[in-house]
Amino acid sequence: MTEQENRAHGADSEVGTLRTVMLHRPGTELKRLTPRNNDRLLFDGIPWVARAQDEHDAFAAALRDRDVEVVYLTDLLTETFADESARTEAIETALNGLHLGDTMRHYLRPLLTEASPAELTTYLTAGIRNDEVRGGFGLVTSLLPSDDFLIDPLPNLLFTRDSSVWIRDRVAITSLAMPARKRETQLTELIYTRHPRFAGTGTLHGWRDDHVEGGDCLLLAPGVVAVGVGERTTPAGVEQLAREILHKGLVHTVLAVPIAQERATMHLDTVCTMVDVDKIVMYPNVAGTLTALTVTVQEHGETDADLVLHVADAEPFLVAAAKAMAIDTLHQIDTGLDPVTAEREQWDDGNNTLALAPRVAVAYERNDETNSRLEDAGIEVVRIAGSELGSGRGGPRCMSCPISRTPLAG
């Protein structure tokens, strides 16, 4: 088997041996965060960028040490921009921003068109400030504060989990709910549809569709996907994704899991992640109340829109999950039984682990209680620092998009 075949694209679980992962090394876009814009840009503080980069490099090194191929989103994007039509599409989509006005567009278009592929990647990810455009003396330039953004920076690109998700051999282009993140999936769509590495890959969903975020999608087992529905993924979003993946036979069951619509639980992977084929680390303060609606196919149709879905009554999440996974029990490992410790460690992404293989997971080192409980349960914990990375409220799972995992299904 060639190296490429050995790392064939796709994933059918959360825990099959991780072979290739897409990360985003934090860069200039983080330097754009200020106390005035960090809330809007979804960061809880102003990270020390050099330290965040060191922490991220150590994360990538820990993955490479385990023979994981690490690819960077910005490298893929720059390579994608070798294709002239991909460049044009990216530029025109960015220029569609309604707040620009035609005069500003007139100045921005040549700036972007004449940029090299690497420069274009930087403009589209780090953004462009009003005072960085020379000669744009129009009404918009004059009225906008000089440090306001003409093209917003994308500091949350760091969380590659959310902007795409592989379900078997297909990749879903997600549709992000928060205005600060909407442009991210325009870039992942370009990568997956234009980069030669992904030629022939079938895509699902799209950034113009109802909201679905990758952090809400957990591949519990081959054929079973749980999708959180809360602050980010909408009821219509989960229905649309469920129709697509059930119709294509990529899964037999979708579990729709309502989660509280608040920042602490913005995605399902902030409250639970899989660490083995039958073990999940879970925030105990929600474990007792988390439910799931089991969605299966009642009647097939010509298209996914014709599919008749069967939606079962809500059941406790762990019960519904075990049934769908055809296992006796989905074992829960708690974030810490003391509710205050659990709350602190959940906030600091203790539940947000990235499985490298069954019973091996990357976790932030700071979550002592959760990590020792994982070890007590037989999970090897690969600890990484996240003091600066964590200020964006995301852990190892959020910061990684598995492109290839060894399939669990035979």
Ligand X SMILES: NC(=O)NCCC[C@H](N)C(=O)O
Q: What letter represents residue 387's amino acid?
A: S
User: What are the phi and psi torsion angles at 389 (to 5°)?
Assistant: -60, -35
Pick 111 or 180: Cβ nearer ligand X: 180
Pick 42 or 219: Cβ nearer ligand X: 42
Pick 222 or 392: Cβ nearer ligand X: 392
Asked if 22 and 72 touch (Cβ cutoff 8 Å), the reply is yes
Q: How far is the CB of 23 from ligand X (least distance, A)?
A: 13
Q: How far is the CB of 149 from ligand X (least distance, A)?
A: 17
Pick 79 or 213: Cβ nearer ligand X: 213
Of 171, 326, 165, 162, the C-alpha closest to 248 is 171
Q: Which residue pairs, CB below 8 angstroms and at least 24 apart, start in 106-115?
A: 106/138, 107/133, 107/134, 107/135, 107/136, 107/138, 108/133, 108/136, 108/150, 108/151, 113/87
Of 265, 269, 266, 244, the C-alpha closest to 254 is 244
User: What are the phi and psi torsion angles at 280 (to 5°)?
Assistant: -135, 135
**Whole-number CA gyration radius for the chain:** 21
224/212 Cα distance (integer angstroms) = 17
Task: Give the list of residues 6+ apart from residue 252 with CB closer than 8 angstroms, or none.
Answer: 223, 224, 246, 296, 297, 324
Q: How far is the CB of 282 from ligand X (least distance, A)?
A: 15
Residue nearest to ligand X (CB): 215
Asked if 267 and 218 touch (Cβ cutoff 8 Å), the reply is no
| Planar angle of CA 333, 378, 15, nearest 5 degrees | 75
State how far the alpha carbon of 11 is from the alpha carbons of 137, 143, 274, in Å: 50, 49, 14
Pick 7 or 72: Cβ nearer ligand X: 72
Pick 130 or 233: Cβ nearer ligand X: 233
The two three-digit tokens of residue 204, written as one number = 């699902």
Q: How far is the CB of 122 from ligand X (least distance, A)?
A: 21
Helices marked H in 182-328 — which ranges? 184-194, 235-247, 284-287, 317-325
Q: How far is the CB of 387 from ligand X (least distance, A)?
A: 16
Known catalytic membership, residue 398 = yes
Q: How far is the CB of 164 from ligand X (least distance, A)?
A: 12
346/362 Cα distance (integer angstroms) = 15
Q: How far is the CB of 18 from ligand X (least distance, A)?
A: 17
217, 272, 398, 401: the active-site residue:
398
Pick 165 or 297: Cβ nearer ligand X: 165
363/351 Cα distance (integer angstroms) = 8
- The residue ranges that bind ligand X (CB under 6 A) are 42, 156, 159, 161-162, 178, 181, 215, 266-267, 269-270, 392-394, 398
Which residues participate in catalysis according to the annotation?
398
